Chain A
């Protein structure tokens, strides 16, 4: 099966993807480039068709008037949704070393470590990295409180685009050089398989080290305070994995008490009309490139919630302590519909989940 799907990839895209890697970048991701597609088709959630579709969009990814415009316009709402989750229930974090006596009135420190899965050209990852304070002891400049950002995507070409674009901003470039901001051309599965560096995910010198897991056994893979999954779950490969399995992996990357936050599209008649018929219509009606979405892969909020709960039970970090229903204790679920109004942009509309796009979040119990 996997070989059939592989043969569908336009050879042009594969060549471009492998030649786009510059020598400078090779060092940081040894071994990834040569075997990217082959590995993914067997062991990962990455759909080869999807990979080629988005790689073809790489050159115009950051064009504000290009095919990804609608995604750019949605980006500020992602920050707002994350901020609303954190306002509701912030993850438990160790106080920043040196900042003693932080009262509840003082602004919270920027001490959350983020993982962005399926970062693409880096629209969200870069915008979050921009909010990381240059001085780690400074209070968080925004409600998202980012201390570090690790962004992964299976497309070597998009990672290349993302890195190139990050260099255009001196602040982001500094974070990229200091390691507070990382782009990894890898899959979630490979990331989780990588040995957990004890000081990872972000070895920022003066900042807090990531919170150790409250259980005695430290997980063998990297874990993060916040994991984001924007417009990804509807693009995974149903032939090699299920959204259920994929979500379990995402939750494994999450520290206890952390939030897994994503956005997707619901699979209902209005969403078919909006996303397939209207949004992908030819110019000037359409706003999304043709072939971006497959309606059958869309996910409804109740399905997502069920998968997330199932995933939480399976992904109990330490195999020994907890599993089953007790893993659901202290979890939270949050969902907010969002609608694109031409001329006005994206608006959060409570209760519009079944119309199409929506944000969702699940908090892992402590």
Chain B
């Protein structure tokens, strides 16, 4: 869900500058006779998608002999040694669907993820702040009685996931593996024909690498050739630019405000005791939904999609006022909330937000499904990132494949961003496995078209559904749109088979 924050942390290079840099490189071109190091798979980007793909390739006996490399501009050692207090949580958290989790188990990565820091949830409460229409998701319809409730999704910090994937890769040994940490891709160009005494690499991508920091693991070689170049390098993917793949999309003019919260004990203890719930309330007048997703030890992670102005306001509040706003957003009416978004903070630091909340909540009917009160916010965990929609025109090009955010960026309201990325790497690793066992060139279009045909439509469908939900739930007031969406929600909630179908679809 929080994969987007990662992108905002990346250094941005505008497309025209990047083109200039690459064009300049191309003219310098590879000096004749110099053979670059040849790799089967070169993955640019060491996020969950890139590392996941590498781990999947290393895990399969068919593809484990492939010579693979990964290039990451950040320090992978920091990611390897990431650690945090048991009651502190990173604000970059993702919700993994059961099929994503199953994939991580299959490639042997799940066992390397610190289990004390992940949290399953079995129920999801979603309601409309305008009309009060509500829908709840759980698997009770598909689970026999007396069996444990099935997991809807699993929350995990991205750092925990990345560290687990790095451990999984390390466990596969270092044969045929090269991790270029602290290294940036200075340029990508096509190779040259090394004939008559060598192969013709004129259609192979050659990457020029340069260290981005003082310590670099792979400084020895500065030029590497890729049989298959994977772009797992985020929304501004240089690999995508090299392949000349256009991307379409728009900015939502919304920000996602994130924070790690500690919750009060619920009024009634959950039954069964392990039951955890995710909450999402749509706030059409404020620009998007607020969601509270469970973390271990009665913590939760917040994602509040709202306008940039509201996001800036929320971030400027002292923590007690911020908490009051979060609690209000799950309880108060749209009118009250809009009023509270304008309350000035007094110079003494003591705000009136808490007073406003405690007074107004007495006069508001509170639905049964509201989450427990948030009573503390982890210091330094409040952040925000812009919400965007992007979809590359293609995922593949000769010797190039895009995965994760390089291929698609969607609205986070359904928490599907990372799951789409994991779906990509599951499909791509199987495509590569099939190619290797059938003598196919893994960089060939005939090989890669299977990946593209498996993923493009699925990703369009889920990205489009999220976009549609965003647009439907941005119509304030009590007009026909509100009526229609509330009617739809009520109907789906009362038709178990429709709900079950939707859940299976969302699960991937």
Question: Which chain A residues have a beta carbon within 8 Å of chain B's beta carbons?
Answer: 24, 64, 72-73, 75-76, 79-80, 126-131, 141-144, 164, 167-170, 173-174
Instruction: Given A127-B440, A169-B441, A170-B38, verify A76-B434 contact (CB < 8 Å).
Output: yes
Q: Is the CB of A64 within 8 A of B445?
A: yes
7 tightest A-B contacts by CB?
A: A127-B439, A76-B438, A173-B199, A170-B199, A167-B200, A79-B438, A64-B446
Can you list 15 A-B contacts (CB < 8 A)?
A64-B446, A75-B438, A76-B438, A79-B437, A80-B438, A127-B439, A130-B439, A130-B441, A141-B436, A142-B437, A142-B438, A164-B200, A167-B200, A169-B199, A170-B198
Say if the beta carbon of B201 comes within 8 Å of chain A: yes
Distance in angstroms from B443 CB to nearest chain A CB is 9
* Residue of chain B at shortest CB distance from A177: B197
| Residues of chain B whose beta carbon lies under 8 Å from any beta carbon of chain A | 38, 62, 65, 195-196, 198-201, 203, 227, 434, 436-441, 444-446, 449
The answer on a CB contact under 8 Å between B446 and A72 is yes
Q: A64: which B residues are within 8 A, CB to CB?
A: 444-446, 449
Q: Contacts A141-B65, A173-B198 given: A127-B446 contact, CB under 8 Å?
A: no
Chain B residue, CB-CB nearest to A80: B438
CA distance A127 to B437 in the complex (A): 10
A75 cross-chain contacts in B, Cβ below 8 A: 438-440
| Complex interface: chain A residues within 8 A of B449 (CB) | 64
A128 to B436, CA, bound (A): 11
Query: A76-B438, A141-B62, A143-B437 are known contacts; what are 17 more A-B pairs with Cβ within 8 Å?
Result: A64-B445, A64-B449, A75-B440, A76-B434, A76-B439, A76-B440, A79-B439, A80-B438, A126-B439, A128-B439, A130-B439, A141-B436, A164-B200, A167-B199, A168-B199, A169-B199, A169-B227
Please measure, in the bound complex, the distance between the C-alpha atom of A174 and the C-alpha atom of B194, giving whole angstroms.
13
Most B CB contacts (10 A, CB to CB) among A80, A130, A170, A174 go to A170
Which secondary structure characterizes the binding site on chain B? loop
Q: Is the CB of A127 within 8 A of B200?
A: no
For residue A294, give the distance in angstroms from its CB to the closest CB of chain B.
27
A80 CB, nearest partner CB in chain B, Å: 7
The listed residue (A24, A126, A129, A164) touching B196 by CB distance below 8 A is A24
- Taking CB atoms, residues of chain B closer than 8 Å to A173 are 198-200
Min CB distance, B263 to chain A, in Å? 50
Hey, which chain A residues are within 8 Å of B38, CB to CB? 170
Please report the C-alpha to C-alpha distance between residue A291 and residue B417 in the assembled complex, in whole angstroms.
Answer: 50
**B69 to A: closest C-beta gap in Å:** 15
Closest chain-B Cβ to A244's Cβ sits at a distance in Å of: 31
User: In the complex, which residues of chain A have a beta carbon less than 8 angstroms from the beta carbon of B62?
Assistant: 141
Partner of A131 from B195, B196, B439 at Cβ < 8 Å:
B439
B436 contact set on A, CB distance < 8 A: 141-142
Question: In the complex, which residues of chain B have a beta carbon less than 8 angstroms from the beta carbon of A169?
Answer: 199, 227, 441
Question: Shortest distance in angstroms between B190's beta carbon and chain A's nearest beta carbon?
Answer: 12
Measured CA separation A72–B441 after assembly (Å) = 12
CB-CB under 8 A from A131, the residues of chain B are 439
- Residue in chain B with minimal CB distance to A124: B439
Measured between C-beta atoms, what is the minimum distance from B269 to chain A in Å?
52
Residues of chain A contacted by B195 (CB below 8 angstroms): 167
What residues of B have a CB within 8 angstroms of the CB of A79 in the complex?
437-439
- A131→B444 CA distance, assembly (Å): 15
Q: State whether A144 touches B199 (Cβ < 8 A).
A: no
- Docked pose: A105 CA to B428 CA in angstroms: 30
A151 to chain B, nearest CB (A): 13
**Considering only CB atoms, which chain B residue lies closest to A22 in the complex?**
B196
Residues in B whose Cβ lies below 8 Å from that of A24: 196
Task: Assess the B439–A168 pair: CB atoms within 8 A.
Answer: no
What residues of chain A lie closer than 8 Å to B200, measured between beta carbons? 164, 167-168, 173
- Asked if A127 and B201 sit within 8 Å, CB to CB, the answer is no
Query: Bound state CA distance, A142 and B437, in angstroms?
Result: 6
Bound Cα distance from A174 to B38, whole angstroms: 13
Q: Which residue of A lies closest to B434 (CB)?
A: A76
Give Cα A164–Cα B201 distance, bound, in whole angstroms. Answer: 12
> In the docked arrangement, what's the CA distance between A126 and B437, Å?
14
Least Cβ–Cβ distance between A135 and chain B, in angstroms: 10
A76 to B198, CA, bound (A): 28
- Chain B: which residue is nearest A143 at the CB level? B437
Question: Could you say which of B62, B195, B434, B446 has the most chain A C-beta atoms within 10 Å of its C-beta?
Answer: B446
Closest B residue, CB atoms, query A107: B61
Interchain CB contact under 8 A, B439 and A170? no
Q: In whole Å, how far is A61's beta carbon from the nearest beta carbon of chain B?
A: 13
Once the chains are docked, how many angstroms separate the CA of A141 from the CA of B438? 10
Selected from B203, B434, B440, the residue in CB contact (under 8 A) with A168 is B203
> Which A residues touch B440, using CB under 8 A?
75-76, 127, 130
Query: Is there contact, CB below 8 Å, between B439 and A144?
Result: yes
Q: Which residue of B lies closest to A345 (CB)?
A: B450
Chain A's closest residue to B197 (CB) is A177
- Name the A residues within 8 Å of B441 (CB-CB): 130, 169
Cβ of B207 to closest chain A Cβ, rounded Å: 16
Residue of B nearest to A69 (CB): B446
Residue ID in chain A nearest B448 by CB atoms = A64
Give A130 to B435 CA distance when docked, in angstroms.
Answer: 11
A174 to B197, CA, bound (A): 10
Q: Please, how many angstroms separate the alpha-carbon atoms of A127 and B200 in the complex?
A: 17
Contact: B438 with A127, CB < 8 Å? yes
- A142 with B199: in contact, given A64-B444, A73-B446 (CB under 8 Å)? no
Question: When chains A and B are docked, how far (Å) is the Cα of A126 from the Cα of B444?
Answer: 13
